[in-house]
Amino acid sequence: MKYWQYLVRRLAGILVSLIGLSIIIFTTSRVLPGNPARMALGALASEEQVQALAAEMGLNKPIPLQYLDYMRGLLVGDLGTSLETKRAVSTDIVYYLPATLELITVSMFLTVVIGIPLGVVAAQNKDGLTDNATRLVAFFSVSVPGFFIAIMFQLLFGYLLEWLPITGRLGSEFGSGVSRFTGFLLVDTLLSGNLAAHVDAWAHIILPALALSLAGIGQVMRITRSSMIDVKDQDYVEAERGFGLPSWLVTYKYTLKNAFIPTLTILGLLYASLLGNAFLIELVYSWPGLASYGVTAVLNNDFNAVVGVTMTIGVAFVSINFLVDVLLGRVDPRIRLAMEEAT
Amino acid sequence: MSAESAGVLDRFVSAERRELWQRSWKRFTSRPMSVIGLGIIIAIILLAVFAPVVAPYPEHAGKFTDFSNTLQPPSLDHPLGTDHVGRDVLSRILFGYRLSLMLVGVVLGFGVPVGVLLGLVAGYYGGWTETIIMRATDTALALPPLVMALAITSALEPTLTNAMIAIAALWWTWHARLVQSIVASERGEEYVQAAKLAGASTPHILFREILPNTLSPILVKVTLDAGFVILIGAGLSFIGVGVQPPQPGLGTMVSQGTSYLPDSWWVSVFAGLAIFVLVMGFNMLGDGLRDLFDVEVNR
């Protein structure tokens, strides 16, 4: 099979699984206990009002028909109305998504700049003290609940040392001085020319981003270490050493470059999985992102919002995984060959 | 063990096999991390099982209030302090472990057999059977596990039982994928062809010939999964869709404790540490087993 045929097949598979996902999520959200129309109107509304709204929302139709209506709306970007905010779910998602993406992107950056160097150092000192220390750190980072470490950071850096703010994205004093351009505060504060607010936005994002990146740092560190060790014993690296190249050049130019491929795979998977972990971190830091919006929706049985958020995350999740595959195929011909041979 | 039962055992377990086990055990114990992990798990299981006996205040596990004793810092009477209604945190953690272990037991007890069976069938038969089963597993992989479990839970009443159902409904897919990939590569092997030619039935080939070859990766995966399931369960409880108060869920306790930070830090901190220690135990054991069996298993 040709490489592009493989990619087309993957895309078709992704489409099928997204449709499967939408059916599952839609159906489970529609068998909710309690009447969503009643919930939207509150306890004081009369039975007639509730019935009228239920009819308007299409809740009296059979679920498969409701699903078709929903999918028809989805094609034109209509995800229904949130019972909680009374706004269109798509508007809400566009509003809350940048905060989450900003948090995830900064976490990813921290994961890379902390995880990869630590992995390199560990590989250089294989079985030495540093290696064993990083192994312990890795164990710690995948075993500790993210929400717990988030609370620990708040206690330590917020309450005890009073270095950093513990909730929100921006101090209330900057509220009026920053206009919304992109929804990414680190960008918007700059575009508004408000440097003090920009610094404040960094101060707010650093703790949640660090808490979110911890599990990934452990994984990136271990995978960088083991692939560095694998590559180090390859003949071409031995040859370069034999030519008398300095060891730092061999390490950084030749070894790391080739060892980076497994790391790249993990990074892609991580970026996607941060979408899930962000749910807990945003809750701890009152971070007004998509996850906070989703949790509120779940707790309030806001069914359109639940489906909308879930599908958004699903699409983002599978797209990132697919992009990583494409990228890997481009950088490593061996992987492309393996893909062509598969099925 | 009596001499008679040892004799029975000898008849079933050959000398070579026993030597193999002894060698594996030796290799396993040569890594301190795995032994510590196993020790942590056994200790916590014992504490959880005997919680009604070993907990200093077993009655504090449920609906109990003592408003003269609220939010007491750690002391000799309450080694880990008391919570906002005066309950002993240590006692609640020990009972909380019961809920965490029950979650692991139910999720893996359902998810692993179902996943293994479907994986065997998909891998062995291939074709349409495989396509349908594997597409179903793909769907489960279209979302991060926590979000998937959260979405399923949102449709149900928030209880521990429903959280178990949501996670179990998800978990079989990973085992199905793992087993399917192994079986797909084994079905062309000579021993399978030989069994077929000898007239062995399909169930015999699946369960007696192929299944034994998948056992060590499954065992490793189950151990690593246990920690992961605990983390997801704790996450759901922390959000508020898992274990409900007054039940002593560990994630629920961390969440309740956050209202009393930073002054009464002990509720959240000790409950969080309790989750961490148990998950760490499973991860250390899983890592040791992975080296022992020399298998690649990804999360």
What's the domain count of chain B? 1
CB contact under 8 A, A280 and B146: yes
Minimal Cα–Cα distance from B15 to chain A, Å? 36
Please check whether residue A142 touches B, CB under 8 A. yes
Residues A14-40 as b/e (b if ≥16 CB within 10 A, e otherwise) read beebbebbbebbbebbbebeeebbbbb
Domain boundaries, chain A: 92-293+309-341
Give residue B33's pLDDT: 84
Q: Is B24 domain-assigned?
A: no
Q: Chain A contact for B147, CB < 8 A? A: yes
A270-309 per-position pLDDT tens digit: 877 788 888 899 999 999 999 889 988 888 888 889 889 9
Look over chain A and give the mean of its residue pLDDT values, rounded to a whole number.
83
d(CA B72, CA B264): 8
Q: Which long-range contacts (CB under 8 A, 24 or more apart) does A185-189 make?
A: A185/A99, A185/A102, A186/A102, A186/A106
Domain membership of residue B152 (yes or no) is yes
Q: Yes or no: say if B86 and B70 are a contact pair by the CB < 8 Å rule.
A: yes
Q: How many CB pairs under 8 A join A and B?
A: 144
A21, A144, A273 member nearest B142 (Cβ) = A21
**Cβ–Cβ under 8 Å, residues A335 and A258:** no
Report pLDDT digits (tens) over B25-56.
888 888 888 899 999 999 999 999 999 999 89
Q: Provide the CATH number for the domain around residue B48.
A: 1.10.3720.10
Domain presence at residue B214: yes
Fold type of domain A92-293+309-341: MetI-like fold (1.10.3720)
Distance between B141 CA and the closest CA of chain A, angstroms: 8
B21 within some domain: no
Predicted-complex ipTM score? 0.85
- Residue B35 lies inside a defined structural domain of this protein: yes
Where do we find the tokens 């949790």? A295
Give the range of the structural domain holding residue B35, as residue numbers without chain letter: 30-56+77-292
In tens, the pLDDT along A8-51 reads 888 888 888 889 888 888 888 777 655 666 666 766 777 777 77
When pLDDT is averaged across residues A122-151 and rounded to a whole number, the result is: 88
**Which tokens hold the place of A153?**
């950071």
Average pLDDT over residues B213-233: 89
Q: CB distance A17–B142 less than 8 Å?
A: yes
pLDDT at residue B94 in the model: 95
- From the CB of residue B240, how many other CB atoms can be counted at a distance below 10 Å? 17
Q: Residue B67 falls within a domain, yes or no?
A: no
Query: Taking 80 as the threshold, does the pLDDT of residue A196 lie above it?
Result: yes
Residues in B closer than 8 angstroms to A318, CB to CB, are 142
In whole angstroms, give the CA distance from residue A38 to residue A33.
12
Say what the pTM is.
0.87
Q: What is the mean pLDDT of residues B118-132?
A: 88
